[in-house]
């Protein structure tokens, strides 16, 4: 019998939540108009409108990168720049998709806790050379919430960033690939975290929280939405049978299971962080606020992890562990135990690694 | 009780075939590596290699437009042109996606039966200005098989086009959105219709023949495939959970059901064409070789169709009827009857509209 | 002593007019702000405003292709199409520059006398699929005046095209690489040939009529001009020392010499066409309205031309002769004599080839 | 009588050197093939081949931004990245032109003295994710020599950077907008500063050193040059009458005047830096190695400069003074005197501001 493989690589290695799979199967009956002109997509739009407490336009797409790129393109001028944190997903892990769709340059700023800060953004924008034809002209701010290092912006922080951005003539895009984890952690409503702070467009991610390649571009200003269907088609992002994505998203927001899943994932990570953080020689790199842990481990611990059945990612000199809602508690214990054993630490007395 | 709606709009209005839905549900178990680095995608590649009788690279995507665009981009130079028929899907119905991904210009040629012809292609390429920096430089030929008007190239026709294309330094891309219908109608193997004729890359469509947003970019030359993952990511076409597409495609090719479905769809169309074509005043515009019928109808017939529960598309001055494998025979009869009644024709004696 | 080379290849093989060279030398004194923020560029703008009888924005560039591309980009949406004649310079001889700058697709229409016709344009635009996301969305009409075959639109024809274009939501760009030849031939004012007909932006060419790489993008609506400096810079089209182009253009429009040069070139071509057209076996392909002649010649005549010191272009199966303002009368006579001799014709009695 | 305006804004505010203007006037005689297929362009190529001591391909362009963009595009893959210093001209002052032509992302590194350093480049490239489709793939290194802050790379520094770049699979582009100033300051040959260090392509600037919008793309590997004419045409960078640029460049390299001009400009800057640097409260920001001075000045000094007839640029919190070869010595004295007076310093005893 082989040892179980505990998988901490990413939240996109997991399967689909049962009710989303069921929604997809149900949506399979009968014929439906193609390209998003179908009843499931209309129902999904009504659902987003309810969830966000205002009329929104929501477009189904099957990739987060596509969602980000097309949302940014809808905000763009073709000789412009997008401001973002240097660790932003759009800057590091999308192989240039935002640049491809927008024609713009990403201006990547540093910032404590992997976040942008309003005063630093203001200073950077003040030097951008607005109106000078030798300089790219800023048109958008990207806020990655949560950040790619698992840190969170508070609503007031987002509002401050949006205020600066708008004052400088920029629109604001939120990359919400892990939007559910932010909602679960902060305990605020989707509206409170987005348009009430000034966000103009949101890439609403569901894939990392139990959906099957289901994401939505959510636009709070109808005028901004007008060009998106064309931009999507031009990028090959329009789905012939959009109902299969829309039906999932409609079901996703139908009750609170999406938030509960995210909450469980966050809790698993908190437990794992507590376990790892108590070990000598382990440095937790970023505040653990959602379901991701970034750490620096002694070489012996890395070697021990690499020898076993646990799976995780190395990113440069750091390791990353991501917890899913359906993460096995045994996996969390096994991970901590493996690192502890490699470091020669005694077993802990006070950190309950197994959920009660 | 409402009248049933018979839907002849397109083959993408239908649902998924049972075994493909089942394959998707099965693939949902456990964790899987993201972005196509998973066992389902590897199995799918082995399946394509078997089906095409040679090693191929097959990449899962969720849209046919994306598949076409990225395949063409892999063949491209950035100051080039793609030759295609003026009715080609890439030229008319993809909102500029091929141009967006390749940076190229589409050179659209006329041609009898909505097909390119080798001698006319040769003549056009001879005037292209190879080496002249004021002229775009041809790099690819697009063959849409079947054409968007439902006509078919015979293997010898494709081979002749490929020979001309290669002689002029072009690579050949086949848009096979309805590849199954061509295979079913021509009775030849996938290999005989593609690389044995000289095709370099194929957009293999499954969505219009019973899959859920499942297409494959199939490349016959490994060197051409190397850049595709990067181009896909840059276009937002890489699927986070690619297994759901790959599992469908793996199952799709596992037996002959995909060909049987296409054959049924083709047969439905033949029956419908026979019924319509026998009516006075109805002109069938293009040879009906697969599951699509293009016709010109008297105004009275169009008005009658628009009044009823039948659904179909108008394209300019023509009407289009597309048959699916699961098209209801009653629908076919109803369509012919509606047109006949509008035209005041007597009921037919010799055309059996209902399958025996 | 070698035979003189008579050069009929193009109007861009000639040198600069004396007064333009002088203007450039004069502009060399002192320092000047770079990138077009200089007094010569301001004076040039005032000159264009006077010449066109309304406030315009004129931007100096050094290539006609750049001028066309950037003007079209200022009119563009990024998922759009530009309508033009299939023989248009932007469609055939700019290596994809308009597509590169605009991201758009060129929709090339046929048309008698190498011209677009209002009714045909209306029909094509009616089938363009406005609002359908699978179709590129038309945003601009390109009118090449004179055409690349040397034919001319009358003001009423341009007005009719503009009316159709505007009714369908398109802006109108005129490619005026040989604008002077049109003005000289039609005897109307710059205003009458452009904005009074509804033209929104003009690529004003001077290089083919005696300037040194001096062209202007002329925009009749200030709102359209706002993005052009950025688009030019992004394309590498902003000149560090713009004064050298602006000073030429300022001088170019200072008196009527630009029109007189063009008139002389047109007259040379009329004389040449009369001589050639009188020969049996010579077919003049397009009406000769400016300084260009397109003809089909018997093989013997082509062989004779190729043997001699005369220079000209072959374009596919046709030959092209372009006359410059400073074309030597002996060259025109030599050309006709060469063809006549090759065809075995007697010397003419009634066509005076040498100007009196 | 008005006070003379001393202009320290940039080296592109000056006029053309007499021999270059003369070369242009001489080139005006007779007809010449368009688009760079002319004798002047061929002679210019021979001249560059001699000056660089190996066969090179040199293409005439009229803007440095165009030259940089097209050279980088010739080195590019379309899903890639270009490494450069964060202060590089291509990163800050070209409105996204390199991104536009290449489709690539610029990865901007910090670095002491506004220069890249081989060990830091190596570290950055090691983290670039070669082969990972979520990451842009590096293809080129840009070395701006001299830097935009007037600092210089020694040949050994360039060689070390090229070695790292090539080891990681990158080609190397040198932006030599002020190449002459580097040659004059370092006293080495063009070959020693470029291909002998491993540079693959050079943007050779002449405009800032006495030419009229005359630059050359110089490529040391013929295979890399093949696509450039097409890329240039597509960008509107091909000159209809290229002879006027080529003739200047041919003359430019015909003797050592280009180096002498640059040397004089460098010497003026050294004198100005000595004068300013001796004043209390003045901070020279970067080592003054060519003809540019970056400084931080007390507010009073800035106010005094802004009140007078002196012209210069403010860049963020710094001021920039650029000296031309024909800078008036009185201007240098006036600048130092103005700052000194504003700061209340006594007149200097030991720094001879006026040349002997």
Give the Cα separation of B47 and B41 in Å (integer).
10
Burial A105-132 (b: 16+ CB within 10 A, else e): bbbbbebebbbbbbebbbebbeebbeee
Identify all chain C residues contacting D70, using CB atoms and an 8 Å cutoff: 236
pLDDT per position as a tens digit, B75-123 = 988 899 999 999 999 999 999 999 999 999 999 999 999 999 999 999 9
Residue C12 C-alpha, separation from nearest chain D C-alpha, in angstroms: 6
Q: How confident is the model at residue A356 (pLDDT cuts 50, 70, 90)?
A: very low
Give the Cα separation of A299 and A282 in Å (integer).
11
Identify all chain B residues contacting D77, using CB atoms and an 8 Å cutoff: 227, 230
Instruction: Determine whether the interchain pair B235/A64 forms a contact, defined as Cβ–Cβ distance below 8 Å.
Output: no
Contact indicator for D325, D209 with CB cutoff of 8 Å = yes
Percent of chain C beyond pLDDT 90?
91
Q: What is the pLDDT of residue D348?
A: 55
pLDDT per position as a tens digit, C284-297 = 999 999 999 999 99
Residue of A nearest to D65 (CA): A134
Nearest in space to D12 (alpha carbons), one of C215, C232, C238: C238
Residue D58 has pLDDT above 50, yes or no: yes
Give the Cα separation of A139 and D340 in Å (integer).
42
Identify all chain C residues contacting D26, using CB atoms and an 8 Å cutoff: none
Of C33, C68, C101, the CB nearest to D13: C33
Instruction: Determine whether the interchain pair A78/C35 forms a contact, defined as Cβ–Cβ distance below 8 Å.
Output: no
Instruction: Determine whether the interchain pair B63/A239 forms a contact, defined as Cβ–Cβ distance below 8 Å.
Output: yes
DSSP H helices, D127-154, are: none
Contact indicator for A2, B20 with CB cutoff of 8 Å = no
Whole-number mean pLDDT of chain C? 94
Q: What is the pLDDT of residue C348?
A: 55
Whole-number mean pLDDT of chain A? 94
Give the Cα separation of D13 and D181 in Å (integer).
16
Chains touching chain D at 3 or more Cβ pairs under 8 angstroms?
A: A, B, C
Q: How confident is the model at residue A3 (pLDDT cuts 50, 70, 90)?
A: low
Of C30, C63, C240, the CB nearest to D236: C63
Instruction: Determine whether the interchain pair D103/A94 forms a contact, defined as Cβ–Cβ distance below 8 Å.
Output: no
Strand, helix or coil at A80? Answer: strand
Whole-number mean pLDDT of chain D? 94
Size of interface C-D (CB pairs under 8 A): 141
Selected residue with higher pLDDT from B238 and D30: B238
pLDDT per position as a tens digit, C163-202 = 999 999 999 999 999 999 999 999 999 999 999 999 999 9
Identify all chain C residues contacting D96, using CB atoms and an 8 Å cutoff: 234
Q: What is the pLDDT of residue D347?
A: 63
Q: What is the pLDDT of residue C339?
A: 96
What does the pLDDT average to over A75-80?
89
Residue A346 has pLDDT above 90, yes or no: no
Complex confidence, ipTM? 0.95
Residue of C nearest to B89 (CA): C134
Residue C214 C-alpha, separation from nearest chain D C-alpha, in angstroms: 10
Instruction: Determine whether the interchain pair A230/C137 forms a contact, defined as Cβ–Cβ distance below 8 Å.
Output: yes
Instruction: Determine whether the interchain pair D134/A93 forms a contact, defined as Cβ–Cβ distance below 8 Å.
Output: yes
Q: What is the pLDDT of residue D354?
A: 41
Identify all chain B residues contacting C106, using CB atoms and an 8 Å cutoff: 105
Identify all chain B residues contacting C100, using CB atoms and an 8 Å cutoff: 103
Identify all chain D residues contacting C245, using CB atoms and an 8 Å cutoff: 213
pLDDT per position as a tens digit, B159-189 = 999 999 999 999 999 999 999 999 999 999 9
Q: What is the pLDDT of residue A77?
A: 83
DSSP result, C13-38: SS---HHHHHHHHHHTSS---STT-S
Of C133, C230, C231, the CB nearest to A233: C133
DSSP result, C128-196: S-TT-TTSPEEEEEEEESS-TTS----HHHHHHHHHHHHHTT-EEEEEETTHHHHHHHH---HHHHTGG
Residue of B nearest to C130 (CA): B95
Identify all chain D residues contacting C31, using CB atoms and an 8 Å cutoff: 5, 7, 9, 13-15
Instruction: Determine whether the interchain pair C79/A238 forms a contact, defined as Cβ–Cβ distance below 8 Å.
Output: no
Of C81, C95, C106, the CB nearest to B134: C95
Selected residue of D34, D133, D240 to mutate for chain B interface (largest B Cβ count, 10 A): D133
What's the DSSP call for residue A237? -
Q: What is the pLDDT of residue A355?
A: 39
Of C99, C127, C135, the CB nearest to B95: C135
Of C12, C61, C235, the CB nearest to D241: C12
How many contiguous H segments (helices) and E segments (strands) does chain D have? 15, 11
Q: What is the pLDDT of residue A122?
A: 98
Instruction: Determine whether the interchain pair C236/D241 forms a contact, defined as Cβ–Cβ distance below 8 Å.
Output: no
Q: What is the pLDDT of residue D356?
A: 37
Token pair of B142 as six digits: 């697009």
Selected residue of C30, C38, C63, C94 to mutate for chain D interface (largest D Cβ count, 10 A): C63
Residue D352 has pLDDT above 70, yes or no: no
What does the pLDDT average to over B41-59?
98
Residue C158 has pLDDT above 50, yes or no: yes
Give the Cα separation of C28 and D16 in Å (integer).
6
Identify all chain A residues contacting C242, using CB atoms and an 8 Å cutoff: none
Percent of chain B beyond pLDDT 70?
96
Of C24, C61, C65, the CB nearest to D233: C65
Selected residue with higher pLDDT from C240 and A354: C240
Selected residue of C133, C228, C234, C239 to mutate for chain A interface (largest A Cβ count, 10 A): C133
Strand, helix or coil at B198? Answer: coil
Instruction: Determine whether the interchain pair A135/D105 forms a contact, defined as Cβ–Cβ distance below 8 Å.
Output: no
Residue D106 C-alpha, separation from nearest chain B C-alpha, in angstroms: 15
Q: How confident is the model at residue A347 (pLDDT cuts 50, 70, 90)?
A: low
What does the pLDDT average to over D240-249?
97
Instruction: Give every strand in the sheet of C283-284, ordered side by side.
Output: C283-284, C292-296, C318-322, C313-315
Identify all chain D residues contacting A81, using CB atoms and an 8 Å cutoff: 96
Instruction: Determine whether the interchain pair B236/A12 forms a contact, defined as Cβ–Cβ distance below 8 Å.
Output: no
Residue C190 C-alpha, separation from nearest chain A C-alpha, in angstroms: 29
Burial B80-92 (b: 16+ CB within 10 A, else e): bbbbbbebbbbbb
Of C35, C137, C231, the CB nearest to A79: C231
Identify all chain C residues contacting A134, using CB atoms and an 8 Å cutoff: 35, 233, 238
Token pair of B234 as six digits: 């840059």
Q: How confident is the model at residue B228 (pLDDT cuts 50, 70, 90)?
A: very high
Q: How confident is the model at residue C308 (pLDDT cuts 50, 70, 90)?
A: confident
Residue of B nearest to A69 (CA): B236
- The CA–CA distances, whole Å, from B340 to A77, B279, B319, D110, D328 equal 54, 7, 16, 77, 94
In sequence order, what are the residues at sequence separation of 6 or more whose Cβ sits closer than 8 angstroms to the Cβ of residue D193? D145, D155, D158, D179, D182, D183, D186, D199
Lowest mean pLDDT among A202-206, C175-179, D77-81: D77-81
Chains touching chain A at 3 or more Cβ pairs under 8 angstroms?
A: B, C, D
Give the Cα separation of C267 and C261 in Å (integer).
10
Lowest mean pLDDT among A14-18, A223-227, C4-8: C4-8
Q: What is the pLDDT of residue D135?
A: 97
Give the Cα separation of B123 and A103 in Å (integer).
37
Strands B171-176 vs B137-144: parallel, antiparallel or unpaired? parallel
Identify all chain B residues contacting A235, using CB atoms and an 8 Å cutoff: 66, 97, 100, 235-236
Residue B7 C-alpha, separation from nearest chain C C-alpha, in angstroms: 20
Identify all chain D residues contacting C30, using CB atoms and an 8 Å cutoff: 15
Domains of chain D by range and CATH? 18-252 (3.40.640.10), 257-343 (3.90.1150.10)
Contact indicator for D45, D247 with CB cutoff of 8 Å = no
Residue D33 C-alpha, separation from nearest chain B C-alpha, in angstroms: 14
Instruction: Determine whether the interchain pair D96/A136 forms a contact, defined as Cβ–Cβ distance below 8 Å.
Output: yes
Token pair of B244 as six digits: 């759901």
Residue B1 has pLDDT above 60, yes or no: no
Instruction: Determine whether the interchain pair A95/D316 forms a contact, defined as Cβ–Cβ distance below 8 Å.
Output: no
Q: How far is CA D159 from the centre of its chain?
A: 19
Q: What is the pLDDT of residue A171?
A: 98
Of B77, B133, B234, the CB nearest to D79: B234
Q: What is the pLDDT of residue B316?
A: 80
Nearest in space to B58 (alpha carbons), one of B229, B173, B313: B229
Instruction: Determine whether the interchain pair D134/B79 forms a contact, defined as Cβ–Cβ distance below 8 Å.
Output: no
Q: What is the pLDDT of residue B169?
A: 97
Neighbours of A316 (CB within 10 A): 8
Helix (H) or strand (E) holding A138: strand A137-144
């Amino acid at each position: 019998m082989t040892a179980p493989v505990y998988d901490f690589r990413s939240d996109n290695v997991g399967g689909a939540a049962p009710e989303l799979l069921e929604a997809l199967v149900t949506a399979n009956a009968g014929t439906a108009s193609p390209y998003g002109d179908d009843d499931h997509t209309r129902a999904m739009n009504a659902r987003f409108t309810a969830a966000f407490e205002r009329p929104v336009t929501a477009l189904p797409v099957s990739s987060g990168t596509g969602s980000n790129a097309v949302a940014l393109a809808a905000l763009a001028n073709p000789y412009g720049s997008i401001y973002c944190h240097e660790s932003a997903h759009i800057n590091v892990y999308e192989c240039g998709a935002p640049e491809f769709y927008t024609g713009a340059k990403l201006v990547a700023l540093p910032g404590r806790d992997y976040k942008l800060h309003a005063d630093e953004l203001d200073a950077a924008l003040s030097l951008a050379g607005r109106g000078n034809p030798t300089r790219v002209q800023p048109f958008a701010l990207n806020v990655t919430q949560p950040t790619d290092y698992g840190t969170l912006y508070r609503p007031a922080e987002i509002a401050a960033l949006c205020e600066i951005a708008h004052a400088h003539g920029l629109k604001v895009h939120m990359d919400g690939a892990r939007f559910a984890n932010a909602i679960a952690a902060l305990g605020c409503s989707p509206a409170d975290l987005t348009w009430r702070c000034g966000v103009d467009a949101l890439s609403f991610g569901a894939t990392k929280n139990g959906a099957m390649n289901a994401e939505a571009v959510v636009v709070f200003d109808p005028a901004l939405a007008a060009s998106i269907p064309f931009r999507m088609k031009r990028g090959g992002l329009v789905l012939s049978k959009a109902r299969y994505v829309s039906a999932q998203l409609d079901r996703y927001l139908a009750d609170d299971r999406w938030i509960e899943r995210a909450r469980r994932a966050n809790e698993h990570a908190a437990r794992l962080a507590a376990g790892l953080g108590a070990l000598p020689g382990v440095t937790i790199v970023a505040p653990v606020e959602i379901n991701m842990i970034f750490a620096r481990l002694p070489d012996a611990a890395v070697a021990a992890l690499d020898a076993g059945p646990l799976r995780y990612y190395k990113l440069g000199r750091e390791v990353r562990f991501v917890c899913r809602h359906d993460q096995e508690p045994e996996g969390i214990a096994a991970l901590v135990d493996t690192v502890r054993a490699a470091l020669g630490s005694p077993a802990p007395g006070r950190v309950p690694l197994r959920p009660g």
